[in-house]
Each structure stands twice: as C-alpha cells, then as structure tokens.
C-alpha cells in the first residue's frame, strides 16, 4: 500500500492559560489518523470535540495559546509538526490547501478575484501574467463559476455566498495541493448551494487525487462525499473507518447514539427521537477512563479508569471496551491498516 | 423552598470583606498584576488621589488663608536650592504662598473638577445615547448630527466657548461664586458626545439581540427594557470610556485655567500654577511652573495608561 | 386571489391574510439623494391558517422570509400590509399595542440561546419576566416556586435558579429559553430555528422536550420555523415552503415529503445531504436571486428545470389542488400536472 499523504499519530494539543496559576488545558488527547491520496476523510463531532483543532494543528494554525504537546504529524512522510513557521507557511501556501467556513477569511476584499488567483498561481508556477490569467479563468470555470473570464476582474463582494466559496476552492486548488483541509466549508451555505459545492469537492478530489480532511458537524455531508470518517469525542477519535461501516454499522456507543438521534428524511416517524443523555464534557472536566462513560449505556467498571485503547473491529478502529459486534458475523474481524501502522 | 431562598440570598449578598477579597482575586486584578506598566499607573493614580483627598491635612500651610501669606517670602526657591528656606520645601510663588501646599490643593481641585465633569458628561451622554439608540428615527438622526458637528470642533474650544458664554450671560458675582460649577459644566458639555456616540452604538447592537425582543413579548415596557436590560449591558463600555476621559478632563481644566478662564487665581488649580510660573520662567524662577507641570504630567499619564489598559482588558476581542 | 381553504370557524387559531413586510435599503440620507430607496419584499403577500392544536412548519433557505414572517406575526416587526387574526380577533401590528392577556398567550423561542438570554440576569429573573409582567402582585417566593417548577419541567433543576446564563451549555440555555416561553402557558408558540444553533445530540434532546411539552399542554398551536427538513418532518403536522418571500407550497407533512409538487420543494428535498455520491442531484443549480431585483413571473423560474414561457411573465398564485384540498401549490406547471 502506498504511503498516506497525511499521517497523524497520537497528536496532543494543549492550550496554555494566560493565567499562570491554571494548568494548560488538554484539548486534543491523542488523535491518530491517515489520509491517502484521493481520499476524503470526514471528521465529525460536536463543537468542542476537537475536530477543527485537528485541522488547525495540521495547518500549523493553532491560535490563542494552543501548542502541540505530543505526537507527530507527517505529510508525505516528512514530519511537519516541528517545522519553523516560515517553512510551514510555504507548505501551507503550496502543498497543503485550506478552505474555511467563512469564505471572506481567505479572500482579500480589496483585490479582484483574478488578481488573487494570478498571484497564487505565480508563486507556484513560472507563468507569464497572461498565462496565469488564462489558467485562473480555467480554474474558476472548473469550480463552476459561470462567465469565468469576465468575473476575474470582479471583487469578492460582487460574488454570492456560494460563488465566493467556489472562488476560495479555486484559490486553494491553484497551488495544486496534495492535501486540502476543509473546515465546515459548506456550513454557511444554503442547502441547495451546499449540494453543489459538495459535489464539486468530490469532483476535484477525484480528478486530481487530492487528499481531503473534511471537518463537519453534519453526518449528512459525511455520507454524501466522504470515503472514511472519524468520529471525535472530547479530544479523541472514538471510531474511525469507512463511511459505510461507521454510518451503517456503528460500533462505538457514541456513534450509535449520535446516528440514532438524528431525525431521518426516510425513516418512519417516531413519537420521540432517540436521545443521548447529558452533554459532552468541557476540556477542563473530562472524566477519567473513557470520556464517554457517564453517558454510555454499556459502561462497566473498566470504562471508568485507565485509557481506552483503539481496538481494531472489522476494518475499523474503535476506542471502546464493549463495541457493538452484533453485525460482525457478516464482516471479518481484523485490525485496520491504521492500527497496524501504529508502533 | 425557604432554605433555597436563604442560600440564594447568601450567594447574592456577600459581606464587604468578601467583596474586597473577590475583587482582588478577580480576573481583572490578575490581569492588572501581569501588566507592569498598568500596575505602576494604578499605584501612581491611587497615590495621587489619596494625596489629593488628604491635601488639607498634609499641606504644611493653608495657601487660601491670607494671614499665613507673606509677600516678602515670594518667589523663594525650593529648600535644597541656594536661598531656599526649609519650611518651604518646593519654594513659594509670586504671592509668597507655599508651593507644596498650593500644589496639593491645586491637585485636589483639578481632580474634583475632572471627576465631576466626567460624571456629569457620562450621565448626560449615556442618557442621550440610550434614548437615541432606543427610539432611533428622526430624534436619533438629529442628536447624532449635533454630535457630529460638535465632534468636528476640538473639545477644548467647546469648553472655552461654553465657559465664555456662561461668563457673559451670568451676573459677575454669580460667576465668581460658581466658577467651579461653570467650568465643570463647560468640560462636561465638551465631553458628552463621546459617551452618546459609544452608548448609542452599543444600544443599537443590544436592541437587536433577541433578549430585548423576548422582553417585548413578555410585555416589559420600553423604559424598563432600557433601564433593566440594556443599561447593565452598556455600563461596562461607559465606565471604561470615563476612565479614559478623566485624563482629557484634567488637561482641559488645566488648559482653561492656564488661559486664565478657569478657576479663580485665589484658589489656583494645577493649570493656574503653571500659568503663574510661566511668567517667571525666564527670570530663573523655574520651580513655580515645573512642579505643578510635573504633577500634571504624572496624573494625566497615569490615568491615561490605566484607561487604555482597562479598555483593552475589558475588550473580549483583544483579551 | 385564491387562497387555501378558509376556515373562519373556531377551528383556526391563527389566520394570516395577505401579509407583506418590506424593508427599505440604505440610510435616510441616501434615500433622499437617490430619490427612491430600493425595497426588499421580505414577506410578499402570504396567507395561511393554523388550526387549533396544529403545528405548522415554515421551511426555506436563508432569506426566504420565514423568520420575518414569524416576527411579524408576533408583532416584533410592523407588517407593510395584511391582517393577522388570532382566535378570530384582529391583532394590533405592534406587540406593545396588544392587550396583556393576548401577549401572554403568544410566546416565542428564538434561534440563538446566547443572545436570547440577557447575560446579566439570573435564571430566575429571566424565566420570571413574563410572569411578573402579567401579574405584578405575586410575591418573590411564589414566583420562585413557579420558576422552579418550570425549570424542572424543561429538565433543569431548582438549584439553577440563582445561576447566570454563562454557567450553562447551549442546550441548557435553550431549555431556559423554553421555560420562559411556556411560563405563561401560552396557547400559541413560535419556534424560530430552535435547534439550529445546537449540537446534533442536543438537538434531539430539545426536539423531544418540545414534543413532550406539546403533548402536556393539550391544544398548543405552534409555528415552527426551520431549515432542517428532517426535524420538520419529525415535528410538524403541516408544512409551508417559502421562496423569496412567497409561499410556494403548503401540504400535510407526510404528503409533502412523500410527493413534493413544487419544483423548488423537490429540489430542496433532493439537496439534503446524506444520499451517497450525489444521487439525484443533477437538477440542483443556481442560487437565490438578488432580492432587490427578483425575477419577473415566478421567482424560481431561472433555476427551475420545468420553467415555460408563462413562468417568466405571469406570477403563479397559491392554489388548492382540486383533488386534494389540503394541498396547495403556486406553480403553473405542477398545478396542471396534478389536476
């Protein structure tokens, strides 16, 4: 098997409090994942679970006192978690792209879209202005902006929300990155526009073999375009595997509960939705043992102490002592590739 | 239920000692302790305010008491300089008043005028800002255009004008008696715009929040919404602004006094002292101007730094 | 104009006729210089009826006017035109002009529990506000008791009375907001995107709580505003679909989700993510047009796969289907094909 584009091993991130008397806040408590070329990995979880933080850590964009306190991040085999700021910035501009929820964070309101695209293209490729402009037009065209050549001379505010996000995608793709980190890229968009932008993601990823980390809170988005999915809870990945496995045959009780609590458009209407009691703990109050045990119906004594290992359960990893194996007769049990790669 | 009430009451009404401890341990005090410059500014401000409050007790002489003043002692240099007398530590002014005592009482007067005018302009400005932000419409437009026009003139000019008009309009003996009131009002008139504009902006933002809509649905009257819902939420920004404005008020008062339209020369403020000293600066009597000037710089600098720090510390976007 | 079947009898709780709300763009000065300010018709001639005990949901994308409609009904915005009848009585346009008794029977849950609760008030004062304003002569302990009961009812505890909103999570804050909304035992409740600011697992908790409360208070009528179609399908009896300020389709929830008639409704349903690899998404195109310059004829015509010439010139009216009078749709093409 070829080397993954991104390898994250036991990544820990903590936030140093500005007040000296408070201990640093552990927000990522050991995250491991791989993304192969051409693969879209979805990272889902509730706000505060650490999914955006994982993306920010890979991008070297931890803000507000955050720092990597353990583990490693490898990009094409090369460690990037200890790179100096200048080098990670070069990497970020070229081989690792980023798309965020608010397109205006990536766009300069005072420059035309064409100028921004040309500038990005020319930092990566030796092209004349005219060639770069032609390339920019074809990029805009490829992300589905109509009348691309004409719209190059327009400013970001002249684009609608969905079109703006397409421009950001074109900008991120201009460097022909190997890895794209997309943090809630369609959350601010209307559902009909979201569908179009998601389809575009899938298309670009398939056409260029880009590896994508898609951070989202929407299981529907994951089902729509992801190949694999990691479910995060309180700073850890509790379950990671193929979308079909995880969404249709969830093994971790949190994944199970989460999926059951989402009303479906095609399931019969029940008088009540399934609900998980309680709420996810804040980083400062993560309980000992498995972080999910106070809300878990299957919790036993063993769940209340020690670390819960990531077990390989039928082509996926699950951090649970009592994963749901009821469907395991149909699928062979074995450790997934990510688990094997771990030392 | 009764035990619940009691515990709630305990929680809501801690004793004064507990309040002081809570304040010293609070986030904002921690913040202050980390910022050395702000800490020094706070200490200087506190010290100067304490000195000003205790001025009548500390001052070796009563400069307002003409019987204690001897013209023969006029323009004596500080005690350590040649020709200085030990009882006049910082020397004397042109009328033979002890400079240290005059300075202490002048500092008190300057601070009182600044505090009073800032309080007055805050009361006026916050009320106008709240009303304008709440009612919007034509009243808001008119008030804010007036504010814009006033803002295009220097605050000092406004205070100068107001002071001049008051002096011209009021009978002479009233002006003499009420000179401090006149100057407080003049400075307040120059300062209300800042509050009105800031508070109007914050009020507009707060009024668009759904808790105000929920209160309307509950049937809460507009006045009650303004006072109980919105005012507590705009109190923070106004207090921060007030701290910043104190330095401006002190400078305005001193400038007016320096120009001779402020408080009467018989009860000199820091600005008056600088003006008097200025006349003698080139005859070698530097002390009359320099000591009040230094005090002025210290208090303005300290309150300014403190105000800036408070503004940053209470701004969640920066903090 | 043909509107949906009128039921002036005691069966209808809320009757809205020809409600419009337009906003003028730009500052007064700009308006004067330009001679005329551009106008956005946020809600454009919407008529609908909500029966007693019924939950009607309004769905649509952002900017379609569903929230403005709710706020106008509640009297938080002044309507530009139209009549709102509540319990067969015409309502004053502004909430402050409505009698206290009426105000108490109409309450609202807002989208964002971070701005809908005053951060400087304690929970007991927040929840007690509508109780106090209704009857000023209640003692503090009587109010505390009532508020305590309300908090327990929404899944919080009596110990939370003296806390401030910032001590609670988003879901708990929304519970506080719900406690305030039901404090006066209203007959009509508007829920404006009550779960869209919350995490997925918490959304289920809040939706269940609202189901529970609806069952407990027999005959509670509600208007449920949401862009979450699955939640609407779970919660609502009847659904109205809005596009660019106009109602394009109204139908019983089950029928609407099983057989959407308006091309926009069909597109909206197809766009919900969750189906693998873009199945059936070929028809999804375009974005909401500029509300300052809406298309002539049917507002949806530039994005509509079925649009014919008539759709570009003549605006379709919302008409009841002859076969199924409970359903109505505003479409030239769909009406013809369904009849």
Strand order in the sheet with A311-312: A96-99, A179-183, A211-216, A40-44, A228-233, A236-242, A317-318, A311-312
Kindly report each contact of residues C120-124 with a partner whose C-beta sits within 8 Å and lies 24 or more positions away, as own/partner.
C120/B232, C120/B233, C120/C164, C121/B229, C121/C164, C121/C165, C122/C161, C122/C162, C122/C163, C122/C164, C123/C147, C123/C151, C123/C156, C123/C160, C123/C161, C123/C162, C123/C163, C123/C164, C123/C165, C123/C176, C124/B8, C124/C161, C124/C162
Q: What is the 3-state secondary structure (H, E, C) of chain B?
A: CHHHHHHHHHHHCCCHHHHHHHHHHCHHHHHHHHCHHHHHHHHHHHHHHHHHHCHHHHCCCCCCCHHHCCHHHCCCCCCCCCCCCCCCCCCECCCCCEHHHHHHHHHHHHHHHHHHHHHHHHHHHHHHHHHHHHHCHHHHHHHHHHHHHHHCCCHHHHHHHHHHHHHHHCCHHHHHHCHHHHHHHHHHHHHHHHHHHHHHHHHHHHHCCHHHHHHHHHCCCHHHHHHHHHHHHHHHHHHHHHHHHHHHHHHHHHHHHHCCCCCCCCCCCHHHHHHHHHHHHHHCCCHHHHHHHHHHHHHHHHHHHHHHHHHHHCCCCCC
Size of interface B-C (CB pairs under 8 A): 75
Contact C96 B222 (CB under 8 A): yes
Nearest C-alpha of chain A: how many angstroms from B109? Answer: 39
Chain A environment of C157 (Cβ under 8 Å): none
Q: Mean pLDDT, to the nearest integer, of B158-187? A: 83
**Chains contacting chain C through 3 or more C-beta pairs under 8 A:** A, B
Q: What is the mean pLDDT of chain A?
A: 86
Nearest C-alpha of chain A: how many angstroms from C93? Answer: 31
Nearest C-alpha of chain B: how many angstroms from A283? Answer: 20
Residue B301 pLDDT greater than 80, yes or no: yes
In this predicted complex, what is the ipTM?
0.86
Instruction: Give contacts of C 225-244 with A, CB under 8 A.
Output: 227, 229-231, 233-234
Going by the DSSP 8-state scheme, the letter that residue C63 receives in this structure is: T
Chain C environment of B220 (Cβ under 8 Å): 129, 133
pLDDT band at A246 (very low <50, low <70, confident <90, very high): very high
- Fold entry, domain B14-318: MetI-like fold (1.10.3720)
Nearest C-alpha of chain A: how many angstroms from C68? Answer: 17
Q: Which residues pair with B244 in a beta bridge?
A: none
Q: Which residues pair with C242 in a beta bridge?
A: C247
SS3 assignment, position A318: strand
Q: Mean pLDDT, to the nearest integer, of B20-48? A: 79
Chain centre distance of CA C242: 10
Please tell me if residue B229 touches chain C, with a CB cutoff of 8 Å: yes
Residue-level pLDDT at B14: 56
Contact C201 A219 (CB under 8 A): no
CA angle (B167 as vertex; B161, B168 as ends), nearest 5:
90
Kindly report each contact of residues C161-164 with a partner whose C-beta sits within 8 Å and lies 24 or more positions away, as own/partner.
C161/B4, C161/B8, C161/C122, C161/C123, C161/C124, C162/B7, C162/B8, C162/B11, C162/B12, C162/C122, C162/C123, C162/C124, C163/C122, C163/C123, C164/C119, C164/C120, C164/C121, C164/C122, C164/C123
Chain A environment of B27 (Cβ under 8 Å): 19
User: Which class for A2: exposed (0-12), middle (13-18), buried (19 or more C-beta within 10 A)?
Assistant: exposed
Chain C environment of B219 (Cβ under 8 Å): 100, 103-104, 130, 133-134
Q: C204-221, pLDDT tens digit by residue? A: 999 999 999 999 987 899
User: CA nearest C162 in B: which residue?
Assistant: B8
Residue-level pLDDT at B274: 83
Of C61, C172, C204, the CB nearest to A275: C204
Residues of chain B with pLDDT > 70, as a percent, come to 90
**Cβ neighbours, 10 Å, residue C83:** 14
Residue A158 pLDDT greater than 80, yes or no: yes
Contact B214 C141 (CB under 8 A): no
Chain B environment of A18 (Cβ under 8 Å): 34
Residue A255 pLDDT greater than 80, yes or no: yes
Chain A environment of C231 (Cβ under 8 Å): 263
Contact A276 C204 (CB under 8 A): yes
Please tell me if residue B30 touches chain A, with a CB cutoff of 8 Å: yes
Q: Which residues pair with C89 in a beta bridge?
A: C86
Residue B180 pLDDT greater than 90, yes or no: no
Cβ-contact B50, B299 below 8 angstroms: no
**Beta strand pairing call for A317-318 and C55-59:** unpaired
Q: Mean pLDDT, to the nearest integer, of A207-235? A: 93
Closest CA to A191 of C14, C19, C196: C196
Q: C67-79, pLDDT tens digit by residue? A: 999 999 999 999 9
Higher-scoring residue by pLDDT: B173, B152? B152
User: CA nearest A19 in B: which residue?
Assistant: B30
Nearest C-alpha of chain B: how many angstroms from A210? Answer: 36
Q: B211-233, pLDDT tens digit by residue? A: 999 999 998 888 999 999 998 88
**Cβ neighbours, 10 Å, residue C316:** 22
Higher-scoring residue by pLDDT: C262, A162? C262
The residue with tokens 């801690």 is B14
Q: What is the mean pLDDT of chain B?
A: 82
**Chains contacting chain A through 3 or more C-beta pairs under 8 A:** B, C
**Preferred mutation among C199, C214, C233, C281 to probe A, highest tally of A CBs within 10 A:** C199
pLDDT band at C106 (very low <50, low <70, confident <90, very high): very high
**Preferred mutation among C99, C118, C159 to probe B, highest tally of B CBs within 10 A:** C118
- Ranked by mean pLDDT, the top range of A199-213, B135-149, C243-257, C261-275 is C243-257
Contact C130 B218 (CB under 8 A): yes
Residue-level pLDDT at B161: 86
Residue-level pLDDT at C1: 41
Q: Length of chain B in residues, anyone?
A: 319
**Preferred mutation among B25, B28, B29, B30 to probe A, highest tally of A CBs within 10 A:** B30
User: Which class for C109: exposed (0-12), middle (13-18), buried (19 or more C-beta within 10 A)?
Assistant: buried
User: CA nearest A164 in C: which residue?
Assistant: C287
User: CA nearest B11 in C: which residue?
Assistant: C162
Instruction: Give contacts of C 62-81 with A, CB under 8 A.
Output: 62
Residue B12 pLDDT greater than 70, yes or no: no
Residue-level pLDDT at A334: 38
First vs last Cα of chain C: how many Å apart?
19
User: CA nearest A64 in B: which residue?
Assistant: B319
Cβ-contact B118, B304 below 8 angstroms: no
Q: Mean pLDDT, to the nearest integer, of C77-86? A: 94
Going by the DSSP 8-state scheme, the letter that residue A91 receives in this structure is: H
Query: Cα–Cα distance between A192 and C60 in angstroms, integer?
Result: 10
Of A190, A199, A224, the CB nearest to C274: A224
Chain A environment of C285 (Cβ under 8 Å): 196
Nearest C-alpha of chain A: how many angstroms from C100? Answer: 34
**Chains contacting chain B through 3 or more C-beta pairs under 8 A:** A, C
Q: C15-59, pLDDT tens digit by residue? A: 999 999 998 765 555 555 565 667 888 999 999 999 999 999 999
Q: A294-341, pLDDT tens digit by residue? A: 999 989 988 998 777 777 666 788 998 888 877 554 443 333 333 333
pLDDT band at A145 (very low <50, low <70, confident <90, very high): confident
Cβ-contact B210, C115 below 8 angstroms: yes
């Amino acid at each position: 098997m070829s080397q993954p584009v991104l390898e994250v091993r036991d990544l820990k991130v903590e936030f140093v409090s500005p007040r000296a008397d408070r201990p640093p806040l552990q927000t990522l408590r050991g995250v491991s994942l791989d993304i192969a070329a051409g693969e879209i990995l979805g990272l889902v979880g509730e706000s505060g679970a650490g999914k955006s933080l994982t993306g920010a850590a890979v991008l070297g964009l931890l803000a507000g006192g955050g720092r990597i306190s353990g583990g490693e991040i490898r990009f094409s085999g090369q460690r990037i978690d200890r790179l100096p700021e200048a080098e990670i910035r070069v990497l970020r501009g070229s081989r690792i792209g980023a798309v965020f929820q608010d397109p205006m964070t990536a766009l300069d309101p005072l420059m035309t879209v064409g100028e921004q695209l040309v500038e990005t293209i020319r930092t990566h490729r030796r092209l004349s202005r005219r060639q770069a402009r032609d390339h920019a037009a074809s990029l805009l065209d490829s992300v589905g902006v109509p009348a691309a050549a004409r719209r190059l001379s327009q400013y970001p505010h002249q684009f609608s929300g969905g079109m703006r996000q397409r421009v950001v995608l074109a900008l991120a793709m201009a460097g022909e990155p190997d890895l794209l980190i997309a943090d809630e890229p369609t959350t601010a968009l209307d559902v009909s526009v979201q569908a179009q932008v998601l389809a575009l993601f899938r298309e670009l990823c398939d056409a260029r073999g880009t590896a994508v980390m898609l951070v989202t809170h929407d299981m529907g988005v994951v089902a729509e375009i992801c190949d694999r999915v990691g479910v995060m809870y309180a700073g850890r990945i509790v379950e990671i595997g193929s979308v079909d496995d995880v969404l249709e045959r969830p093994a971790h009780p949190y994944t199970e509960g989460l999926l059951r609590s989402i009303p479906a458009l095609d399931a019969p209407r029940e008088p009540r939705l399934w609900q998980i009691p309680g709420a996810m703990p804040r980083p400062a109050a993560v309980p000992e043992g498995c972080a999910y045990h106070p809300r878990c119906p299957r919790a036993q004594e063993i769940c209340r102490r020690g670390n819960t290992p990531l077990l390989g359960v039928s082509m996926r990893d699950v951090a649970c002592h009592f994963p749901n194996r009821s469907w395991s007769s149909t699928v062979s049990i074995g450790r997934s590739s990510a688990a094997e790669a771990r030392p | 239920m009764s035990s619940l009430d009691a515990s709630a009451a305990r929680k809501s009404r801690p004793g004064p000692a507990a309040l002081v401890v809570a304040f010293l341990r609070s986030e904002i005090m921690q913040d202050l302790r980390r910022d050395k410059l702000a800490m020094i500014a706070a200490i200087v401000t506190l010290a100067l305010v304490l000195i000003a409050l205790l001025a009548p007790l500390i001052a070796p002489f009563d400069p307002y008491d003409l019987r204690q003043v001897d013209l023969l002692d006029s323009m004596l240099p500080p005690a350590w300089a040649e020709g200085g007398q030990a009882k006049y530590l910082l020397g004397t002014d042109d009328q033979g008043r002890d400079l240290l005592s005059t300075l202490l009482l002048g500092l008190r007067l300057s601070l009182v005028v600044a505090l009073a005018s800032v309080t007055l302009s805050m009361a006026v400005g916050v009320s106008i800002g709240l009303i304008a932000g709440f009612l919007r419409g034509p009243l808001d437009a008119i008030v804010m255009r007036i504010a814009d026009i006033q803002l295009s003139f220097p605050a000092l000019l406004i205070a100068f004008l107001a002071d001049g008009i008051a002096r011209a309009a009021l009978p002479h003996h009233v002006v003499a008696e009420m000179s401090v009131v006149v100057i407080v009002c003049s400075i307040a008139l120059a300062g209300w715009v800042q509050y009105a504009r800031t508070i109007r902006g914050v009020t507009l933002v707060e009024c668009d929040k759904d808790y105000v809509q929920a209160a309307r649905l509950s049937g809460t009257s507009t006045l009650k919404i303004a006072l109980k819902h919105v005012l507590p939420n705009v109190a923070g920004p106004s207090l921060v602004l007030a701290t910043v404005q104190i330095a401006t008020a002190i400078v305005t008062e001193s400038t007016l006094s320096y120009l001779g339209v402020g408080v009467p020369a018989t009860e000199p403020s820091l600005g008056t002292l600088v003006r008097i000293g200025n006349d003698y600066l080139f005859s070698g009597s530097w002390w009359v101007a320099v000591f009040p000037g230094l005090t002025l710089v210290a208090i303005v600098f300290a309150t300014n730094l403190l105000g800036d720090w408070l503004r940053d510390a209470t701004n969640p976007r920066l903090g | 104009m043909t509107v949906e079947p009128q039921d002036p009898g005691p069966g209808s709780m809320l009757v809205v006729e020809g409600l419009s709300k337009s906003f003028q763009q730009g500052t007064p000065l700009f308006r004067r210089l330009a001679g005329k300010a551009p106008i956005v018709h946020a809600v454009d001639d919407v008529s609908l009826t909500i029966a007693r005990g019924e939950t009607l949901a309004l769905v649509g994308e952002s900017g379609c006017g569903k929230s403005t409609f709710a706020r106008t009904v509640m009297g938080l915005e002044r309507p530009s035109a139209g009549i709102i009848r509540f319990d067969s009585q015409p309502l004053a346009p502004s909430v402050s002009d409505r009698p206290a008794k009426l105000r108490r029977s109409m309450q609202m849950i807002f989208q964002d529990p971070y701005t809908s609760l005053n951060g400087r008030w304690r929970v007991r004062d927040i929840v007690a506000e509508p109780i106090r304003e209704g009857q000023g002569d209640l003692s503090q302990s009587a109010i505390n008791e009532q508020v305590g009961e309300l908090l327990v009812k929404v899944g919080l505890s009596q110990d939370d009375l003296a806390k401030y909103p910032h001590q609670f999570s988003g879901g708990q804050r929304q519970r506080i907001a719900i406690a305030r909304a039901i404090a006066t035992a209203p007959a009509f409740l508007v829920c404006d995107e009550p779960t869209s600011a919350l995490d997925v697992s918490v959304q289920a908790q809040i939706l269940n709580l609202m189901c529970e409360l609806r069952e407990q208070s027999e005959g509670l009528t509600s208007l449920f505003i949401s862009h979450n179609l699955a939640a609407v399908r779970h919660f609502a009896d009847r659904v109205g679909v809005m596009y660019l300020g106009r109602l394009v389709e109204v139908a019983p929830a089950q029928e609407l989700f099983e057989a959407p008639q308006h091309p926009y409704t069909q597109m909206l349903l197809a766009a919900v993510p969750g189906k693998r690899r873009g199945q059936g998404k070929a028809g999804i195109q375009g974005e909401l047009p500029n509300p300052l310059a809406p298309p002539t004829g049917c507002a949806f015509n530039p994005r509509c796969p079925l649009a014919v010439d008539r759709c570009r010139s003549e605006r379709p009216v919302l008409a009841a289907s002859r076969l199924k009078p409970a359903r109505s749709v505003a479409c030239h093409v769909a009406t013809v094909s369904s009849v």
